[in-house]
Amino acid sequence: MTLPVIDLSRATDATGVGAMADQIDAACRDTGFFYVTGHGVSAQLQTRVEELAREFFALLDAEKSLIGMQHGGRAWRGWFPLGGELTSGVPDEKEGLYFGEELPARDPRVRAGLPLHGANLFPRRPDGLRDAVLEYMQAVTEVGHVLLRSMSVALGLDAGWFDRNLTASPTVLFRIFRYPPAGAESARWSVGEHTDYGLLTILAQDATGGLEVRGRAGWVAAPPIPDAFVVNLGDMLERMTAGRYRSTPHRVRNTSRRDRISFPLFLDPAWTAEVLPVPSATRGAERDREPDASRWDGVSVHDWSGTYGDYLLAKVSKVFPALIDDVMPTS
Ligand code: OGA
Ligand code: NI
C-alpha cells in the first residue's frame, strides 16, 4: 500500500478547493496520512532551513544549551538534548528544537499567561536561522489553512468553517528534529508510536526515510518524496468527526547510517477552543471509528471535555515531565 499524493496547485480559488475535497476526504478517512505537492513553499527556503538546522545541531551541547528548554519558561521553546523527550514513558532517540508562533509580550495570549505562547529562543549561531524559521513557519502555516478549507468542504461545512471556529488564532508549533542512526539491530525507536494532538501536522523530511504509519492493514512506510510534505491528522480532527477522520498512529526508526532531520509543523486549534463533534462532519463515522481501547496511549479522544489547551498540556506533561512546572497555569 502507498499513501496518496495530492496536488495542491489548483487550490488557489474556491473551485479548486472544492475539486480537491473528494481526494482529501478519501485520504483522511482511509489512512489519515497523505503527501501534498504543488504547495508553493519554495525549495530554496526548505534547503536553507535544513542547512541551518544541521549547522546548529553540529555545535557542542554546551553552546546549544544556551537556548535549552529550561530557559524557555512557559512559552515552551528551545533546544532539548538526545533522550530529552519521552513517548509512552520511553526516551526517544532524538534531539530537537522547539519553536512556536513568535508572540511579543504585549500579545493578549501572552499577557493572559497562556502556556506555550510567547517568544522563541533563537541561537546566536548559525546566523540567519531565526529569519529562515519564521519565514518557513509562515509559509507552511498557510498551506495548512488551505488544506483545512478543502477539508471543511469535504466535511459538508463551508470553506471558512475552521477559520471561524477553531483556527482564527491557531496554536502553531514547529519542531526540528535530529535522529541519529539507531543501528539496524536497535530495538529503540527514534520516536515511539503515537498520534499527534491537534488538527494537522505538515512534515518535511530529509532524504533518509524511517517514518512509518499504521494503516488499516498494518504498518506502511512514508518514505521521502522530493518536494512533497507529509500531512497527517491529529486527535482533534478525529474528535470533531467522531472518528470519520483518523488520527493515525505513526513512529520513526532511523535505520540508516546517517542523521535524519525532520521538520514537523503542527497547526492546531486555538488554545481556548473547545473542540466538539460537528454533526455534519460525522457521516459514516460508525463504520470508520477504531475502538478506543486499541489506541496507543489508551486515552480516548472522544470521551473528555475541556479546551484544546487542556488536552495539549495533559499530553505535554507526559512527554516532558521535568519541565511541566514551568508551563502549568498555576505555577
Ligand atoms: C512528531 C512526529 C515524525 C518525524 O513530531 O509528532 O511524528 O518524522 N515526527 O519526525
Ligand atoms: Ni507525530
The Cβ of residue 61 has, within 10 Å, a number of other Cβ atoms equal to 11
- How many whole angstroms from 212 Cα to the centroid of ligand 1? 10
Task: Tell me what the pLDDT averaged over the chain comes to.
Answer: 91
Q: State the pLDDT at residue 3.
A: 95
The pTM for the full model equals 0.95
How far from 213 is each of 98, 180, 185, 265, 298, CA to CA, in Å? Answer: 23, 20, 20, 17, 18
- pLDDT lower than 50: segments of the chain: 331
Which grid coordinates are listed for 160?
471558512
Closest listed ligand to the CA of 230: 1
- Write out the H or E segment, with its range, that includes residue 37: strand 33-37
- How many whole angstroms from 191 Cα to the centroid of ligand 2? 8
Considering only CA atoms, which residue is closest to atom 10 of ligand 1?
262
Q: For residue 232, which atom of ligand 1 is closest to its CA?
A: 7
Q: Which residues pair with residue 90 across a beta bridge?
A: 87
Q: Which residue has the cell 542523521?
A: 259
Q: Is the peptide bond before 264 cis (omega within 30 degrees of 0)?
A: no
Q: For residue 264, which atom of ligand 1 is closest to its CA?
A: 5
The Cβ of residue 110 has, within 10 Å, a number of other Cβ atoms equal to 16
Considering only CA atoms, which residue is closest to atom 4 of ligand 1?
262
**Model pLDDT for residues 150-198, shown as the tens digit of each residue:** 999 999 999 999 999 999 999 999 999 999 998 766 677 889 999 999 9
- How many whole angstroms from 100 Cα to the centroid of ligand 2? 16
Concatenated DSSP letters for 138-164? HHHHHHHHHHHHHHHHHTTS-TTHHHH
- How many whole angstroms from 252 Cα to the centroid of ligand 2? 9
Q: State the pLDDT at residue 299.
A: 78
Nearest to 268 by CA among 231, 236, 307: 236
- How many whole angstroms from 201 Cα to the centroid of ligand 2? 8
Closest listed ligand to the CA of 173: 1
- How many whole angstroms from 250 Cα to the centroid of ligand 2? 6
Considering only CA atoms, which residue is closest to atom 5 of ligand 1?
264
**Model pLDDT for residues 316-331, shown as the tens digit of each residue:** 878 777 767 776 655 4
Q: State the pLDDT at residue 331.
A: 43
Q: State the pLDDT at residue 294.
A: 67
Q: State the pLDDT at residue 10.
A: 83
Q: State the pLDDT at residue 120.
A: 98
Q: Which residues line ligand 1 (CB under 6 A)?
A: 175, 177, 191, 196, 203, 205, 211, 250, 252, 262, 264
Q: State the pLDDT at residue 185.
A: 66
Structural contact between residues 263 and 176, judged by C-beta atoms closer than 8 angstroms: yes
Give the span between the Cα atoms of 67 and 120, in whole angstroms: 9
Q: Which residue has the cell 488551505?
A: 146
Considering only CA atoms, which residue is closest to atom 1 of ligand 1?
264
Report helix, strand or coil for 323: helix
Closest listed ligand to the CA of 252: 1
